[in-house]
């Protein structure tokens, strides 16, 4: 799948490939220690540049205030 910015496609692909392998071969087998962190840093820096260029950063930070990046307790409260 392509990224928001064509500039990030290659970094995204490298990260996605790493993550999908880790998810199948490590995470689902019980080893939840993160890998692919270095690739993610590079990809994330690229995608956030694109987000700022498209002026989406404010929209994202507003949405984060409503639903922060936190544990699933949030979803449980939302259900009731």
Q: How far is CA 47 from CA 18, 21, 25, 27, 64, in A?
A: 17, 22, 26, 25, 17
Tell me, rounded to whole angstroms, the distance of Cα 11 from its chain centroid.
Answer: 13
User: Least separation, in Å, of the C-beta of 38 and other proteins?
Assistant: 14
User: Least separation, in Å, of the C-beta of 63 and other proteins?
Assistant: 5
Calpha distance 43→31 (Å, rounded):
23
* Contact (Cβ atoms closer than 8 angstroms) between residue 5 and residue 52: no
- Does residue 63 touch other proteins according to CB under 8 A? yes
- Does residue 27 touch other proteins according to CB under 8 A? yes
Return residues touching other proteins (CB under 8 A): 1-4, 8, 12, 15-16, 19-20, 23-25, 27-34, 40, 43-44, 47-48, 51, 56, 59-60, 62-64, 66-67, 69-72, 75, 78
């Amino acid at each position: 799948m392509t990224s928001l910015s064509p500039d990030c496609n290659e970094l995204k692909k490298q990260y996605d490939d790493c993550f999908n392998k880790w998810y199948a071969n490590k995470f689902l087998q019980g080893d939840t220690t993160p890998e692919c962190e270095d690739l993610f840093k590079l990809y994330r820096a690229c995608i956030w540049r694109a987000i700022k260029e498209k002026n989406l950063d404010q929209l994202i930070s507003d949405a984060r205030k409503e639903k922060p990046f936190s544990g699933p307790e949030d979803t449980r409260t939302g259900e009731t």
